[in-house]
Amino acid sequence: MPKGESAPVAVDTIDKDDTERRLEQVLFGDDAGFLDALRPQMNNTQALLDADTTPHTPTDDIALHQAVWHDSDDDRVAVSLALNPRLRKLRDTADDDVVSGREYVARLRRQYERLHPTPEWVTQARKRKQGSDADANIHSQDDSDLSLSESDSDMDASRSVQPLASLLRSAGALTRQSDAPSSLKRRKLQPEVIDIARLPPVTSSGPSAVESLYFHPYYPILLASGRSATASLYHISPHPPNPNPLLTSLHVKKTALRHSEFCVPVLSSSPTCPSDTASDGTRIILSSRRRYFHIWSLATGHVSKVSRALSTISQQQKTTERFKISPSGRYIGLVSSTRAGGGTINVLDATTLSWICSCRIDSQGGVADFDWWGAPPSSTSAEGFTVIGKSGQVSEYSLTERRTIARWYDDGAVGSTVLATSRDGRWTATGSSAGIVNIYDRHAPGFKQTVLAQTANDAVTTTTTATATATAARPHPTRTLDQLTTPISHLVFSPDSQLLVVSSRWKKSALRLVHLPTCSVFRNWPTDSTSLGRISSVAVGGGAYGNGQSGGSMLLAMGNERGAVRLWQIRA
């Protein structure tokens, strides 16, 4: 034994009894139990290997929609999946190599669906489409005039228009007119104090200033457009949970809309409720600072660009941004480009879009504004318009006679900016750059004698003497308003000619409401706390000729330069 090492110590080994052996077998197992437990796992692994080596057949894929057409050349094409490294991921087994063209397409589609699963919104859209198809089968007779094209673009356009067209066809879904005669009774506004209540806004903000606001003459629909190149239609229904919902909108690319207006032909003698077919002719004229304009048909959804009709007056009409449609819906008046020594109003036929006539006014600075004689739609009187130059000269033009029947000067005009005529043809209001508003009563004896130089019983003459009689007329206004100090930008009469809205966009909250026929300003609204912003557009709906508001109440809509459209209800 080497030095320094101790002798091994003998250890006695105690044999394990049966109890200890049973405990070790329970805790750690034994060789026999391990092999018995391993055999089922080996069987499962073999089953998996067998499944992986099984040749793949196209019938194992998830059933897809049956294709409409198959290319016979796909069956004759052979594609190797093993030679191309990028295609090896398409193999189902290691032995897969050559597949047919049809099988190759199926595996590509399967691989794409694995990487890009179907989004949830597609599944929801398919469910909605199935529901809409069921509704379309039920209402196929009502929607027979809307045809869906085979192309995707045409189908998308038709679907976007179909809800609005159906909405316009069913007048009962939009109108709230009562069958009781009392609901159509005209109520008169009281002077001095106006009963006005604010309603939920149509929009709180927008991408651009609201340049145009117009109510549909028969349905509670509001048209709003601006320089964001978008025209929107809203259903005026200020009731929760979704007040004043958006019906539809149209975006005209690269076209800053300056003016838009409803063009509704009069198909019924009733001024309050036309037939359901009136919506078939409803169009919207959209204009900008271009030599053309667009027409949007609400019944079909078709949008057309009109430029050829203006070719005969292309030298005068370099822009279509300023136009107005006659109350009958038969004529469109366009303000031509300003020329030295005066301006021109070109009149187009609203149906054929052909040029009819023109009215020239000799005024320094050109045309400031014009407005059609506001006879109700049921009236059979002659149509015409009143045009004012920037120097204050006013001309009355008759479409029946195709000539200027009278000329007069606005009293004290300094830079005329805007002109408006009431729908009943009684009132004419003019605004100037100094904030002065003159209101003229066209039915007053003094106005007729001074301006028209003719009476209703006189025969119409075409002599130069009669024209010269009215040339130097200077009638006195019924009332002159000087509440505003900035240039007047908007003069809007209510449909029943009981209210005049005066506003200026050059100062915040610069607006006044004028009672007619007293020509007095309401003193209780707007107040100092009424925040209106810089008003860029004004519209008044309802009243005697409006269908959406029964009982004589009216709606006042105002758009500002922040893109907000606010709404108020005026109760008589």
**Mind giving me the DSSP string for 387-401?**
EEETTSEEEEEETTT
Among 329, 332, 338, 311, residue whose Cα is nearest residue 259: 332
Q: What pLDDT does 278 receive?
A: 41
Show the 3-state SS of 101-131.
HHHHHHHHHHHHHHHCCCCHHHHHHHHHHHH
Is 414 within a domain? Answer: yes
DSSP 87: G
Domain count, the chain: 1
Is 223 within a domain? no
On whether residue 367 sits in a domain, the answer given is yes
The rounded distance, in Å, linking the Cα atoms of 569 and 174 is: 18
pLDDT level of residue 4 (50, 70, 90 thresholds): low
Write down the mean pLDDT value for the chain.
77
**Residue (of 256, 259, 262) closest to 208 by Cα position:** 256
Does residue 356 belong to any structural domain of this protein?
yes
DSSP letter string over 383-437? Answer: PEEEEEETTSEEEEEETTTTEEEEEEE-TT-SSEEEEEE-TTS-EEEEEETTS-E
CATH code of residue 479: 2.130.10.10
Question: Each residue of 519-545: pLDDT tens digit?
Answer: 999 999 999 999 899 999 999 997 433
Per DSSP, what are the bridge partners of residue 346? 334, 358
Give the pLDDT band of residue 55 (cuts 50, 70, 90). Answer: low
Contact 191, 572 (CB under 8 A): no
pLDDT in tens, 375-424: 544 444 578 999 999 999 999 999 988 999 889 999 988 899 999 999 88
Domain assignment present for 421: yes
Supply the range of the domain harboring residue 453.
Answer: 189-208+314-571
Q: What per-residue confidence (pLDDT) applies to 547? A: 44
* Residue 560 domain flag: yes
State the Cα–Cα distance between residues 295 and 260, nearest whole angstrom: 10
pLDDT at residue number 414: 84
Give the model's pLDDT for residue 42: 59
Q: What's the pLDDT at 201? A: 94
Q: Please check the confidence at residue 327 and state whether its pLDDT lies above 60.
A: yes
Question: How many residues in the chain?
Answer: 572
Sheet with 355-361: list strands edge to edge.
323-325, 331-335, 343-349, 355-361
Residue 492 falls inside a structural domain:
yes
Tell me if 36 is assigned to some domain: no
Angle made by CA atoms 352, 357, 358, in degrees to the nearest 5 = 130
Model confidence, pTM: 0.67
* Phi, psi dihedrals of residue 136, rounded to the nearest 5°: -65, -35
373 burial type by CB count under 10 A (0-12 exposed, 13-18 middle, 19+ buried): buried
- At residue 28, the pLDDT reads 73
Say if residue 222's pLDDT is above 60: yes
Q: Are the C-beta atoms of residues 430 and 475 closer than 8 Å to each other?
A: no
Place of tokens 């929607």: 143
Q: How large is the C-alpha radius of gyration of the chain?
A: 39
Please state which of the ranges 285-299, 323-337, 339-353 shows the lowest mean pLDDT: 339-353
